[in-house]
Each structure stands twice: as structure tokens, then as C-alpha cells.
Amino acid sequence: MNKKHNDEIENQMKLANESLPERERALFADERPSTVEAFNKYYEGFLNWARSRSLWMLAFGTGCGATELRPLMTSRYDMSRYGIAPRPTPRQASVFVIGGYASIKTIKRIVRSYEQMQGPKYVIALGSCTINGGMYFDSYNTINRLDYYIPVDVYIAGCMPRPEALIAGFNRLKEKIRAGECEGMNLYVEKFDWYKENQKQIIKDWNMPDYNW
């Protein structure tokens, strides 16, 4: 009796993956993500120090931000001296840089890439478009607030912000990481249903699993 009850609870906790076809559901994971607690204070402090010194960036060039990210790698601005390195795959990256406006089609890819990153993961939102819509505030196809869809750690305001502003944003992120304030990964898990509801409200053709492992 008790075991049956537990099974029922477990089944309710599983993700439905309703939008996938019936025969494909078994191929995808239906587990919910779970929170991972930090280690004890001093060890986590050391790890955070190392994480902040070695930021691996996944640059998601959605709009004009892509143009501002490139100069960061060149010799004029040289982000590598801060330990920031570009990484071509979400599996290895730890910082997700959203470069500007995100259309509905893009936010689907953003959510997918964000969920595939291995935590602790940080998000830098670039430009006014991610804060309140910027100049696309009345557009039918671009979102207004990024933090309703994925947790954001640092905003960089401007249209577009210069590479110097980007470096300042990265340094602010480092300070936050060292202070242990960047728990976006756990926040996403805690408010998982809320984020999913917001995402599904605008992504009408949700043809992927509910959580992309």
C-alpha cells in the first residue's frame, strides 16, 4: 500500500513530455532536475574562486550583441587575460551570454542550450532588449523580459553596450560568483514549474522534451 502510494507520487513528479509523440517518449528523460547543494563554506569558496577565474563562455549571438562580442576576443580588448575563454558547445560552457533581442524562435533554442549546460551556470544578458524589450518593446515576435524564461545573473544595459561595458559586466559577475550569490541553477530548479509555464505560453510548438538533459 505504502509502496504503491510512493509510486504514484513519483509518477506525478515525472515530467509529462506531452508534446512529444507517444512512441518517442521513452527515448527522452522524464526526470525533473534536482537542486544540488553547495559544499561547506570554505571548500565552496575555493571552488567559486576557481570558477570565477576560469569563465567559459557560450556566446549566443541573437542580434546586434554578436557584433559586440567579437571584439572581446581580439587583441584590443583581450578577454583571455581575465580567464574568459569562448567555448563552442553548451556542455562545456559555464557562462551563457545572450547577445541582444531574443525572438520566440530563438528563446526556444536559448532554453534548450541553457538546460544542456552543466551547472553551476551563469547568464549574462546583454543590451536593453533583454531587460525590458528595448526598442523592440512593442514587437509581436521578441520577448520583453528574459528573466521570465531563464534566471539571469548580470544585466548589461545599453543599446548596444560597448566591449568595455561587457568586460565590466564580466567583472561584476566574478564578484557575484566569489560572494556565492550566483545560484541561478538552483533557482531554475526551485521555480521550475513557473519557468516552464512562462516558456510554454509563448513557445506554441513545443516539440522537445520538457527538460533537455
Residues 18-57 that bind another protein (CB under 8 A): 36, 47, 50-51, 53-54, 56
State the nearest-atom distance from the C-beta of 22 to another protein, in Å.
20
Q: Which of residues 20 and 185 has its CB atom nearest to another protein in the complex? A: 185
Give CA separation, 46 vs 49, 54, 87, 120, 180, in Å: 5, 13, 23, 14, 11
Q: Residue 31 carries which DSSP code?
A: P
**What character string, x for contact with another protein (CB under 8 A) and - otherwise, covers 105-144?**
x--x-------x-xxx----------xxx---xxxxxxxx
State the nearest-atom distance from the C-beta of 108 to another protein, in Å.
7
CB atoms within 10 A of CB 196: 16
Residues 122/95, Cβ–Cβ less than 8 Å:
yes
CA end-to-end distance (rounded Å), the chain: 33
Calpha distance 160→63 (Å, rounded): 10
Residue ranges in contact with another protein by CB under 8 A:
36, 47, 50-51, 53-54, 56, 75, 78, 80-81, 83, 85-89, 91-92, 94, 103-105, 108, 116, 118-120, 131-133, 137-145, 148, 185, 198, 201-206, 213
